[in-house]
Structure 1
Amino acid sequence: MSVYGQDLFIRMVAPDVQEESIKRHRKIVAAVTTTVLLILMVFVVFFCIYMRRRKFKETALSREKEDEAAHEAMELPFFNFATIANATNDFSIDKKLGEGGFGPVYMGTLEDGQEIAVKKLAHSSGQGMKEFKNEVILCSKLQHRNLVKLLGCCIQGHDKMLIYEYMLNKSLDYFLFDSYQSKCLDWTKRRNIIFGIARGLLYLHQDSRMRIIHRDLKASNILLDSQLLPKISDFGLAKIFGGDQIEGNTNRVAGTYGYMAPEYASDGAFSIKSDVFSYGILLLEIISSKRNRGVYHTNVSLNLIGHAWKLWKEGSAMELVDACLEDSFVVSEVLRYIHIGLLCVQQNPDDRPDMASVVVMLSSECALPRPKEPGFLMERASVIAESSSSKPTLSSTNEMSFTHLAGR
């Protein structure tokens, strides 16, 4: 006991007891934190699953609405997917007729015995729903004996198909560019094909309810029925014009190399005259049974147009005629058709005749104007194979250039 004051005694926690308390506190905090995090993680996982299922349902519902809207807009009979799959033996390779930029084409037979051609949109195709709807809407409104008849379509999810009347003799290129099959086309048949295509184009440009520019006229898009009657097909790239409009412009040049008009290939400008240019190439191909995209003069690598122009200037145009025709034609008539073909492929669109004039030229003996130098493509030997219409744009790296050929 102190003399001057009271002694105080303080009771302290032992050091080992204090450490135990801190550790116990930390364990409680860690356990609570872990539990909260697990609960949050479970919540996030369930929320993600919920949102994913909801999005899937919304997408499916939206797709159904789009399909229903498409059904209403297209005004065409719609075939059930199971019906088409059954008709084509589940799209068997044995039923495959060919394949283009749009996708594969199958031959099928409906339960009533009607034969059909099924054009199926490939998922990897450069063409999409826009081109699909475009072709459906156009074909549903167009009726002409020289246009392929669209029977209906089928849309189920990502599977989109067009159902056409079946053409027994496939497409024109099957005959023209095969040395054996081309013998089946004598001059009378070829003349009828040339005239039939012209009438079909005239209908598109002038006589239908809408003015239509095809933009992808070529031999593989001309189908032949059992009587070899030509029918223009594939309207995926076609453009509809109203009133007196006859031309347009696009930043997306889509078509087939070798058939494009110069102004369309270089500047994206298209018109009824660009279809006329393609028709002129087709006419020369039908006469010669040669593809435009070939090399016919090694010194300057002329394609068919350049070759035809060279022979015309030299007075040797009959050398262009397919040898298998022999004496089945009248020389003056064939020369007249070659003349018309050269008029159609002139460089300046204003110099080319319209299809109404072409039909008159083909069916009469009226005087023809002298053709000017054509707008044609020079081909290198390494660029002979025909390009697909699935190519969406023209590249600056293509191995072609525009030129003129002066006659001797």
Structure 2
Amino acid sequence: MFVSSNTLEIRFYWAGKETQAVPNKSVYGPLISAISVESDSPPGRISTGAIVGIVVATTIIMILVFGILWWKGCFGKKNSLARELESLGLQTGLFTLRQIKAATNNFDVSNKIGEGGFGPVYKGCLPNGTLIAVKQLSSKSKQGNREFLYEIGMISALQNPYLVKLYGFCEEGDQLLLIYEYLENNSLARALFGPEEHQIKLDWSTRQKICVGIARGLAYLHEESRLKFVHRDIKATNVLLDTNLDPKISDFGLAKLDEEDNTHISTRIAGT
């Protein structure tokens, strides 16, 4: 038996009287009762191998966690728009360009579902399966960051069944994007005047429902919301239809905050 860097302790006990008698010679001397090994190391000390293993495992776990959070955009540096939104007390989602590119397959032309004054609109799908409509600010658009901020602020402040829901926005580099809910039946204009394969036969009761829905959405914007807005660009392309052909008003880029003398009168030319 070899023992190194430790103390080997062997304990004996007396088993009875020994005898040298003949012919029954026997040994009744001391017998081993226990064997124990006593370490020279301080009590409770963890071996170097165990420490190395714990450190390596912890490091790997931290890298994985930070990698997942980075991929989700949790460590994106807050940009000027995000800070301005917080200062206004507006709660809206902040998406990364990486997330939007993944959702729209890098803005693939096959996912393009429309083109407006703001820019092209793309269909996308988030990792959780949620379908989205991404409105991309075109480089030739005159709408800048300030107007973009107002649009985000206005839409996020409005909650009504007849208004398109805003999920959030993205501002990275020269990209300005709005992320809306996706409406399956596109715009009222396409349903009425689009290519034949996209047209929807609307009976009079459905047409009445759409008209009343638009009126209720405008009534909410003009009179019922906490902050009153005038849309000023209502047309068939700015009315979207959901699965049940219920209308939702979209495109608030030209909306005007109704604060001046509480009046709806405006002589400024806007829209179509």
Counterpart-to-counterpart distance in 2, 1:161 and 1:197: 25
* Closer, same or farther: CA 71–177 of 1 in aligned 2, 3 Å: same
The answer to whether the aligner puts 1:106 opposite 2:122 as a matched pair is: yes
1:157: Cα distance to partner?
A: 2.1
- Secondary structure in 1 matching 2:271: coil
Counterpart-to-counterpart distance in 1, 2:151 and 2:173: 18
- Greater strand fraction, Structure 1 or Structure 2: 2
Q: Which residue does the alignment assign to 1:95?
A: 111
1:65: Cα distance to partner?
A: 5.3
Counterpart-to-counterpart distance in 1, 2:201 and 2:173: 43
Equivalent residue letter for 1:69: R
Larger radius of gyration: 2
Gaps in structure 2 of 5+ consecutive residues:
1-76
Gaps in structure 1 of 5+ consecutive residues:
1-62, 257-408
- 1:147 pairs, out of 155, 163, 177, with 163
Query: TM-score when scaled to structure 2?
Result: 0.66
1:128: Cα distance to partner?
A: 2.2
- 1:170 pairs, out of 179, 186, 194, with 186
What aligned pairs does 1:364-403 form with structure 2 within 5 A after superposition? none
- Greater helix fraction, Structure 1 or Structure 2: 1
Q: Which residue does the alignment assign to 1:247?
A: 264
Q: Deviations over 1:332-354 (max 9, x none)?
A: xxxxxxxxxxxxxxxxxxxxxxx
What aligned pairs does 1:9-408 form with structure 2 within 5 A after superposition? 66-72=80-86, 73=88, 74-178=90-194, 180=196, 181-182=198-199, 184-242=201-259, 245-249=262-266, 251=268, 253-256=269-272
* Closer, same or farther: CA 106–92 of 1 in aligned 2, 3 Å: same
1:166: Cα distance to partner?
A: 0.3
1:246: Cα distance to partner?
A: 1.9
Counterpart-to-counterpart distance in 2, 1:95 and 1:65: 28
Kindly, what percent of the aligned residue pairs are identical?
48
Q: Which residue does the alignment assign to 1:348?
A: none
1:70: Cα distance to partner?
A: 3.3
1:127: Cα distance to partner?
A: 2.2
Equivalent residue letter for 1:109: C
Counterpart-to-counterpart distance in 2, 1:65 and 1:100: 26
1:247: Cα distance to partner?
A: 2.7
Counterpart-to-counterpart distance in 1, 2:126 and 2:133: 11
Counterpart-to-counterpart distance in 2, 1:215 and 1:142: 16
- Secondary structure in 2 matching 1:70: helix
Counterpart-to-counterpart distance in 1, 2:267 and 2:153: 21
- Secondary structure in 1 matching 2:134: strand
Counterpart-to-counterpart distance in 2, 1:81 and 1:183: 34
Paired residues of 1:134 and 1:238 also in contact (CA < 8 A): no
1:250: Cα distance to partner?
A: 5.1
Counterpart-to-counterpart distance in 2, 1:222 and 1:210: 21
Paired residues of 1:71 and 1:78 also in contact (CA < 8 A): no
* Closer, same or farther: CA 77–142 of 1 in aligned 2, 3 Å: same
Counterpart-to-counterpart distance in 2, 1:238 and 1:132: 11
Counterpart-to-counterpart distance in 2, 1:200 and 1:77: 23
* Closer, same or farther: CA 89–204 of 1 in aligned 2, 3 Å: same
Compute the RMSD of aligned alpha carbons: 2.0
Q: Deviations over 1:252-304 (max 9, x none)?
A: x2210xxxxxxxxxxxxxxxxxxxxxxxxxxxxxxxxxxxxxxxxxxxxxxxx
- Secondary structure in 2 matching 1:247: coil
